[in-house]
């Protein structure tokens, strides 16, 4: 849609050119959400496109994803064989309810900064133990763990004017075995629950990441694989019955049921040697 409150679009070649921040400014990434509804409080868009950050950089340390990397570009990435969890990238890209236009325009950073419960780039990066690099306007860059970034439905730790610069997925997490489960009320609908489990190849640890069913990502870390009962207790203790996200994409009770069901499936799957490889 046309945003008739916008009076200026800035196209800086470097983020440093935006030294002052005021109410009414908004970073513009793919624009798929910004242009989807009126932005009555916004008068200036600052387009990230001209920053020309390299979308994907692979190194022995892991994968660095620019916030401006398109979801379609990330989808095409294929990692080395030892990154057993790399197929999670496609699973999570496919979890974005998206038309052709959204798929090709939406960015990884825009999805994370929207901070919706069903943000699949949040699911992916939290499950893979990512670190986000944030660029404040008036201070040094800071790193935050992906699991600490989203604070609630459409809420996060970004301060006014702060820019998400990039996402680092560590090679150690990319090398883990994984299991993925997702459900939606409609075939191409927004996720009601998206649960990912990862496990080191040489240990019997388990990391369960719950997204979409809760307002913010919830992660359960076990040093040793839990029994079904231990997992159930840990889930109930960590997420109270009213801690699930109730919306048109599923009631809280339904999402609780899915979460419990999927978490147990994942536990059982990853307990089998060689599964999720």
Ligand X SMILES: Cc1cc2nc3c(=O)[nH]c(=O)nc-3n(C[C@H](O)[C@H](O)[C@H](O)COP(=O)(O)OP(=O)(O)OC[C@H]3O[C@@H](n4cnc5c(N)ncnc54)[C@H](O)[C@@H]3O)c2cc1C
Residues in contact with ligand X by CB under 6 A are: 26-34, 36, 48, 67, 96-97, 102, 105-107, 109-111, 113-114, 116, 118-119, 158, 163-164, 190
Q: Which residues of 244-276 are buried (b: 16+ CB within 10 A; e: fewer)?
A: bbeeebbebebbbbbbbebbeebbebbeeeeeb
CB of 54 to ligand X, least distance (A): 15
- Whether residue 182 contacts residue 207, with contact meaning beta carbons closer than 8 Å, is answered with no
Return all residues near 120 (Cβ < 8 A) that are at least 6 apart.
Answer: 92, 93, 95, 96, 111, 191, 194, 211
CB of 130 to ligand X, least distance (A): 14
CA distance linking residue 176 with residue 227, whole number of Å: 20
- Please identify, using beta-carbon distances, which residue of 185 and 277 lies nearer to ligand X: 185
- Please identify, using beta-carbon distances, which residue of 176 and 255 lies nearer to ligand X: 255
Residues making up the chain, counted from first to last? 277
CB of 96 to ligand X, least distance (A): 5
- Please identify, using beta-carbon distances, which residue of 134 and 231 lies nearer to ligand X: 134
Residue 55: which of 124, 109, 18 has the closest Cα? 109
Instruction: Give the helix/strand (H/E) hosting 221.
Output: strand 218-222
CA distance linking residue 277 with residue 176, whole number of Å: 8
- Please identify, using beta-carbon distances, which residue of 27 and 244 lies nearer to ligand X: 27
- Please identify, using beta-carbon distances, which residue of 26 and 56 lies nearer to ligand X: 26
CB of 71 to ligand X, least distance (A): 6
CA distance linking residue 134 with residue 47, whole number of Å: 17
CB of 98 to ligand X, least distance (A): 6
- Please identify, using beta-carbon distances, which residue of 100 and 224 lies nearer to ligand X: 100
CB of 169 to ligand X, least distance (A): 17
- Kindly state the tokens that stand for 232: 């159930």
């Amino acid at each position: 849609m046309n945003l008739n409150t916008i009076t200026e679009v800035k196209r800086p070649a470097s983020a440093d050119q935006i030294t002052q921040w005021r109410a009414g400014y908004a970073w513009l990434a793919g624009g798929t959400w910004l242009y989807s509804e009126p932005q009555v409080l916004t008068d200036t868009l600052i387009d990230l496109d001209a920053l020309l950050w390299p979308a994907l950089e692979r190194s022995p340390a892991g994968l660095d994803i620019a916030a401006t990397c398109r979801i379609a570009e990330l989808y095409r990435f294929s990692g080395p064989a030892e990154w057993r969890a790399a197929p999670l990238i496609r699973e999570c890209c496919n979890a974005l309810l998206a038309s052709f236009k959204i798929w090709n325009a939406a960015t990884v950073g825009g999805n994370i900064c929207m901070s919706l419960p069903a943000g699949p780039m949040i699911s992916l990066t939290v499950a893979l133990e990512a670190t986000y690099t944030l660029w404040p306007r008036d201070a040094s860059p800071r790193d935050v763990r992906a699991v600490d970034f989203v604070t609630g439905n459409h809420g996060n730790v970004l301060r006014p004017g702060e820019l998400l610069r990039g996402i680092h997925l560590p090679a150690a997490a990319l090398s883990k075995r994984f299991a993925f489960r997702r459900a939606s009320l409609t075939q191409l609908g927004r996720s009601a629950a998206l649960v990912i489990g990862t496990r080191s190849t040489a240990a019997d640890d388990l990391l369960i990441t719950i997204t979409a069913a809760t307002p913010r990502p919830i992660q359960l870390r076990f040093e040793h694989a839990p029994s079904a009962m231990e997992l159930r207790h840990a889930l109930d203790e960590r997420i109270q019955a009213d801690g699930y996200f109730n919306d048109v994409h599923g009631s809280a009770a339904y999402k609780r049921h899915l979460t419990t069901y999927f978490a147990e499936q994942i536990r059982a799957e990853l307990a089998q040697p060689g599964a999720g490889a």
